[in-house]
Amino acid sequence: MREYEDNGRGESLIEGRNAVTEALRAGTAIDKLYVARGETDRTLGRIIAMAKKAGVVVAEADRRKLDAMSETHSHQGVIAAAAAQAYASVEDPDVALLRSRIAMESQTGYDGQPLKAYFRAVCEIPSIEGSRIVSSNVVSYNLIPLIYAEKKAAWIWILGDVQTVDGEFKNGFAAPSAANAELYEHFKLYEPEEYIGEKLFVGIFSITPKKDNPDPNNPDDCSAFRFAVELGGWDYKIFLGAEGGEEDKHGDFYTNKITDKLEGGKFFSGSVKNEWQANWGIATGTVKPCTFVVDTENMKIYVKEGENTVTFSGREPQFSAK
């Protein structure tokens, strides 16, 4: 045997009728069998039959090609290109080990070590003898990092007369656009870790007062807010808003007043409307921290005054003061 470079892939060549016969009997993984064109003697016919039964691709080749491939110059009209790597079936222990490693690292984290893998398509009808066909093409991946899905919390944004609890960042209805992406990093409601994928979003922000002594019945005195699902400017399609307002304006300039719903330690619960620009409004003369929960599957909103820890009973939020 020797190494032969063919199309950039290293192969071990087995030359000569006896050597090829023994390799086929031993079950050596052979990619392709080259036989001299025009030769049809009994020995060569037996080798070809053995190769086809093993699913090896048989190709006729001009003797000049065989001579160019051969290093021994005694190929006797037959050269087998043996696989440089052994190919395992899905039942093999090595494959089971690979599966175990993938399963383990999907839970514990990828250790940074690459895997070598070689793939070949095999088709066989178990009930029909000699039906096994092995693809002549081998796909090899010398470096395969283990890639697995990692749960990441989704988010939505709040905008309006709101600020971060520490007061460092104020939103003030800044345009929810890419130009303000850095500001909006501080105004995200996230899915809690244990509820990733559930479309339940939680965030704590402070309501920024518009007046020292606002009239809760005057929408212009209320600090307003709504939510956005992307930073797409003022396109109404990105907003999650309060019910109410004119249809042709998609609720714009309408405020759903909820100040009284928060009194006495209660929390507000209401409906959310998709692609709608109406706001919720809270009248306050001081900075008022509030906990917000938005359920975009059931299109519900919950607001509780104060900084609260949120748990869920089904999809219903439970608030407890921090």
Identify the pLDDT of residue 180: 96
What is the per-residue pLDDT for 319?
97
Instruction: Please report the sign of the dihedral spanned by the C-alpha atoms of residue 127, residue 133, residue 139, residue 140.
Output: positive
Q: What pLDDT, on the 0 to 100 scale, is given for residue 89? A: 47
Q: What pLDDT does residue 274 have?
A: 95
Residues 222-246 as b or e (16 or more Cβ within 10 Å = b): bbbbbbbbebeeeeeebbbbbeebe
Q: Are 244 and 276 in contact (CB under 8 A)?
A: no
Give the CATH number of domain 2-82. Answer: 3.30.1330.30
pTM higher than 0.75 for the full model?
no
Instruction: Output the 3-class SS for 114-161.
Output: CEEEEECCEECCCCCCCCCEECCCCEEEEEECCCCCCCCCCEEEEEEC
- The predicted pLDDT at position 118 comes to 54
Domains in the chain: boundaries: 2-82, 93-144, 155-321
Residue 3 confidence (pLDDT): 38
**Is the domain covering 155-321 a CATH 2.60.40.3620 domain?**
yes
User: Distance (Å, rounded) from C-alpha 11 to C-alpha 5?
Assistant: 7
Report pLDDT for 68: 87
pLDDT for res 149: 58
Distance CA 249, CA 254 (A): 9
Return the pLDDT at 13.
86
Give the per-residue pLDDT at 227.
98
pLDDT of 220: 95
Predicted local distance difference test score (pLDDT) of residue 5: 39
Residue type, 278: A
CA distance linking residue 251 with residue 224, whole number of Å: 13
pLDDT in tens, the chain (322 residues): 343 434 344 467 889 999 999 889 888 888 889 999 888 788 888 999 998 888 888 989 888 888 888 887 888 999 998 765 544 444 455 445 555 554 544 444 444 454 555 555 666 666 666 656 665 555 544 444 545 556 789 999 999 999 999 999 999 999 999 999 999 999 999 999 999 999 999 999 999 999 999 999 999 999 999 999 999 999 999 999 999 999 999 999 999 999 999 999 999 999 999 999 999 999 999 999 999 999 999 999 999 999 999 999 999 999 999 8
